Structure 1
Amino acid sequence: MANLQFDLVSPERRLASVEASEVQIPGSDGDMTAMADHAPTITTLRPGVLRVTHGGGSDEYVVFGGFAEITADSVSVLAEQALPKSEVTQEIYDRMVEEAKEAYGKAKEVFKNEPGPVDDAAKLLSDMVAIGGHIGLDPKQSNFG
């Protein structure tokens, strides 16, 4: 089976550079799996879990924003923020959810009759809560308040 080069970079550090058989990407318009000979694509990322499968198994990263560029032989992800799943503690996750909740509250305040930005902020908060469930952390969010 053909492989592709996978690179994941955040502003803080390079998180991965491996030869992979597939990369599952949380795209803004829907999740996608990139494999060798994929059609060239650029997609923005939504908060979610990115999974890369390689010869040594698979690794998961929690990503927040950014974009992915897919070519026939590579996937490059430039994330606004990214951490290996194993580094996302309850404390870090709680802080991220709180930031998303604050952004949602601010959007409701600033954009009173403009649903687009408020909907975007609500979607961000929803995605953040979903990440917690996926990686086994407690979102502590019964509603969007």
Structure 2
Amino acid sequence: MATFQLEFVSPEKLLLSRPVEMAVLPAAEGEMGVLPGHAPMIVALRGGVISVREGGQETERLYVPGGFAEVTPTRVTILADEATPVAQLSRADAEARIAECEKAYAEAAVEATPEKRDAAMARLLSARAMLAAAEAV
């Protein structure tokens, strides 16, 4: 089967670089499947799970709290501050992150600009996606 190069980059290092058959990305507009030959685009990622398929099977699932992806017909480059294998997610950590984000959102709802409230809500939704991924393991 045809493949494309998948690269996952964080500010510190290259996390993943290998040919894959398919990747499913948590794009801001909804889940997005990428196959070889995909139309070029740059998409924002929301908090969620990136699934990687190789050899006809899902081989990897990584939680990202957000980021960006550049898609070309032969390559997908994902830029994110962090990536955690879904198997390593902790429900307790996710619940603690949700509590922090809910507090930050409550404060932003009173004192902040609409942009800061939107950013706080995006972090809260990302934390809830982390919890959902941790519970699905």
Of 19-28 and 123-132, more deviation after overlay is shown by 123-132
> Offset at 1:118?
2.7
TM-score in terms of structure 1 length: 0.79
Mapped contact 1:3–1:19 kept (Cα < 8 A): yes
Mapped contact 1:11–1:80 kept (Cα < 8 A): yes
List aligned pairs for 1:1-145, cutoff 5 A. 1-55=1-55, 57-111=58-112, 115=114, 117-136=116-135
Of 80-89 and 43-52, more deviation after overlay is shown by 80-89
Cα pair distance change 1:88/1:15, threshold 3 Å: farther
Question: 1:73 corresponds to which letter in structure 2?
Answer: T
TM-score in terms of structure 2 length: 0.83
Counterpart secondary structure, 1:118: helix
Q: Which sections of structure 1, spanning at least 5 residues, go unmatched?
A: 138-145
Counterpart secondary structure, 1:80: coil
> Offset at 1:100?
2.1
Counterpart secondary structure, 1:33: strand
Mapped contact 1:46–1:64 kept (Cα < 8 A): yes
Of 87-96 and 72-81, more deviation after overlay is shown by 87-96
**Cα distance per residue 1:62-102 (max 9 Å; x no partner):** 00121000000111101022111122223432343233223
- Counterpart Cα distance in 2 of 1:85 and 1:134: 7
> Offset at 1:36?
0.3
- Counterpart Cα distance in 2 of 1:39 and 1:70: 7
Mapped contact 1:68–1:76 kept (Cα < 8 A): yes
Cα pair distance change 1:11/1:102, threshold 3 Å: farther
Mapped contact 2:66–2:126 kept (Cα < 8 A): no
**Cα distance per residue 1:37-60 (max 9 Å; x no partner):** 000010111110111111374200
The CA RMSD measured in Å over matched residues stands at 2.2
- Counterpart Cα distance in 2 of 1:64 and 1:124: 8
Counterpart secondary structure, 2:2: coil
